[in-house]
Chains A and B, each alone.
Chain A
Amino acid sequence: MKSYFTSILLSLLVLISCSQEHKHEGKKEDSCCKNETTHSKEKSTDDQGSFYDISGLTYTNHLGKAQSLSDMKGKYVFVSMIFTQCKYACPKIAENIQALESALNKPFQVVLISFDPKRDNPQTMSAFLNEKKAGKNWTVMTSTDDIIRKSSMLFDISFKELENGDFSHENVIIVLDKQGREIKRIEGLNINVQQEATEILDLLGKEA
């Protein structure tokens, strides 16, 4: 009986320490519909933040090595999000990046983040690069579901896992300068390579 008493006493102690009264003074100020987002405010380039400074996101690449965004410091980078089993959109994204590479004739790093940690591993990711005859400057990498979610939020590329394990996703190529700042966001699959390349060179020229 004594030990019953002890258990109850213990429970009570835990209970007391855990109960918190949360007063709801509730500033019920605004209507939902009076949201003011501030997309319209133009940010100066210095203010926009560097992807290379984002910590806590680590990936495993097609060589089985750990990689993070800070590894790209000092390089021009194309970033996209794909999955290697993708039949249509992702190969097209890779082709578009290759076309941009040859039009630009500048050393770029290419980083593809896979949505698909269940099926993508160093073998499938290497096979994807081999099939595309991608250069040594290309990386495919994946991570945990949580880090992939964070990456998709960071790069603002929405996706959704489908019942069959595939993904629907936005088709986006992001161009980063050597400081890791986003200088261009190319959306869609049917892109005008020459025009995009000219604009990228123009933007990089301004940066230098």
Chain B
Amino acid sequence: MNVISHIALFLLSMSIMIGQSSLKQVKSGTMYEFIGKKKNVKIKIDAFLMSDHAVTNGEFRNFIRQNPQWKKSRVSRLLADRNYLQHWTSDSTFPAHMEHATITNVSWHSAKAYCAWKGGMLPTNAQWEFALSKNHISIQTGKKISINEVLLKWYANGNSDIFKHGIISSDGIRDLVGSHWEWTEDFNELMVNGDSRGGGNQESNFVCGSASLNSNDASNYARFIRIAFRTSIKASTTTKNLGFRICHPKMEIAQ
């Protein structure tokens, strides 16, 4: 019985744990920088851990119980707008059927506080987009699906058949899109690009024509829509379909 075999066993069991718990490893890779002046430059994304599901009402209630400053009756309006947790019937209750449903009506600040409480963080824009760029299959049929195609349907129609049973990525991440939007750590970073010497607005970088010219994938219209949405909200904003999931940038933090 040597030390190495113990370590090997431990690592094996840890990898099984990661496989079983809600945290999945998003394997490293490269992705085109979506908006930028350099064409065809791929950025490297390191492996990270991401929850396979968005945080649920039940999970968020545990957070509220231990962090009462985030109760809707107590939170500062600077950290969450007046619709924060509006679907909850009180500071700590919501309709029972929502227990496992994705928590929405949460602000960036509250999502961030939840993640910090769990020892993690929100995924960055790059991490989130990278996780979405992996191959996805329909959970119902097991068939590969085109995220872009399905997203455009979702954007247009609301409910798309493919999302009734959800989707899962090759990394095991479920329902990144299809039922709700998700907060990202640096969602407001996209607002500015290049040297900003004028006023507060850099939207010309993102609106239609000018954005397409600087984008590495002008056909990825769905991603433009996500950027448009992210730039339209503030960190205190809450909406009835904006949730979040937790992420750990490095493997070792996850234990």
Interfacial residues, chain A to chain B (CB-CB below 8 A)? 1, 3-4, 7-8, 10-11, 14-15, 18-20, 22-39, 41, 43, 47-51, 53-54, 88-89, 149-150, 152-154, 156, 158-160, 166, 168-172, 187-189
On chain A, the residues within 8 Å of B166 by CB distance are: 24, 26
Given contacts A8-B9, A27-B102, contact A43 B82 (CB under 8 A): yes
Smallest CB gap from A152: residue in B: B188
Q: Is the CB of B242 closer than 8 A to any CB of chain A?
A: yes
**Stretch touching chain A among B127-135, B141-149, B155-163, B212-220:** B155-163
- B13–A15 CB distance below 8 A: yes
- Contact B239 A25, beta carbon cutoff 8 Å: no
Q: Is B1 an interface residue when CB atoms closer than 8 A count as contact?
A: yes
Contact of B82 among A38, A187, A188 (CB under 8 A): A38
Do B77 and A18 touch (CB < 8 A)?
no
List 30 A-B pairs, Cβ < 8 Å: A4-B1, A7-B10, A19-B20, A24-B53, A24-B174, A28-B163, A28-B178, A30-B158, A35-B240, A35-B241, A35-B242, A37-B233, A37-B237, A37-B239, A38-B82, A43-B77, A47-B77, A49-B76, A49-B78, A54-B76, A88-B197, A149-B185, A149-B186, A153-B234, A154-B79, A156-B234, A160-B193, A170-B196, A170-B202, A189-B199
- Are B155 and A32 closer than 8 Å at their CB atoms? yes
A200 CB to closest chain B CB (Å) equals 18
CA–CA, A18 and B5, complex, Å: 23
Residue B229 lies at the interface, judged by CB distance under 8 Å to chain A: yes
CA distance A106 to B200 in the complex (A): 27
CA A185 – CA B164 in complex, angstroms? 44
The answer to whether B21 touches A19 (Cβ under 8 A) is: yes
Which of B22, B77, B158 sits near A22, CB closer than 8 Å?
B22
Question: What secondary structure prevails in chain B residues at the interface with A?
Answer: loop
- In the bound complex, do residue A160 and residue B192 qualify as a contact, i.e. CB atoms below 8 Å apart? yes
B26 contacts the other chain (CB 8 A): no
Q: A36-B240, A153-B188 are in contact. Are A54 and B163 (CB under 8 A)?
A: no
Instruction: From known contacts A22-B53, A89-B197, infer whether A154 and B235 are also in contact, taking CB-CB under 8 Å.
Output: yes
- Cβ contact of B191, chosen from A33, A158, A166, cutoff 8 A: A158
A32 lies within 8 A of B192 (CB): no
Q: How far is the CB of A96 from chain B (nearest CB, A)?
A: 13
Contacts known (A11-B12, A49-B79); A28 close to B159, Cβ less than 8 A: yes
Which residues of chain B are near A14, meaning CB under 8 Å?
13, 17
Which residues on A sit within 8 Å (CB–CB) of B241?
29-30, 32, 34-35
Partner among B9, B98, B191, B240 whose Cβ is within 8 Å of the Cβ of A11: B9
Q: Give the residue name and chain of the B residue nearest to A180 (CB).
A: B78
Q: A15-B16, A160-B193 are in contact. Are A188 and B242 (CB under 8 A)?
A: no
Across the interface, B192 reaches (CB within 8 A) one of A39, A158, A189, namely: A158
Residues of B within 8 A of A1 (CB): 1
Q: Chain B contacts of A19 at CB under 8 A?
A: 20-21
In the complex, the 4 A-B pairs of residues with the closest C-beta atoms, listed nearest first: A31-B158, A11-B13, A153-B235, A188-B199
In contact, B192 and A168 (Cβ under 8 angstroms)? yes
Q: Is B9 within 8 A of A41, CB to CB? A: no
In the assembled complex, B251 has its CB within 8 A of some CB on chain A? no
* Docked-complex contact B235 and A32, CB < 8 angstroms: no
For residue B154, which residues in chain A have a CB less than 8 angstroms away from its CB?
A: 31-32
Q: In this assembly, does B83 line the interface, its C-beta being within 8 Å of a C-beta of chain A?
A: yes
Contact B196 A171 (CB under 8 A): yes
Rounded to whole angstroms, the CA-CA distance of A203 and B20 in the bound complex is 57
Check if B192 sits within 8 Å of A169, measured CB to CB.
yes
B253 to chain A, nearest CB (A): 14
B208 in the interface (beta carbon within 8 A):
no
Is A24 a contact of B100 with CB atoms below 8 Å?
yes
Which of these, B20, B108, B191, B200, contacts A188 with CB under 8 Å?
A: B200
Q: What B residues does A23 contact at CB under 8 A? A: 100
* Cβ–Cβ < 8 Å partners of B109 in chain A: 150, 153-154
- Once bound together, how far apart are the Cα atoms of A6 and B166, in whole Å? 39
Q: Bound state CA distance, A50 and B75, in angstroms?
A: 11
- Give Cα A159–Cα B194 distance, bound, in whole angstroms: 10
Question: Which of B157, B193, B225, B237 is close to A168, meaning CB atoms less than 8 Å apart?
Answer: B193
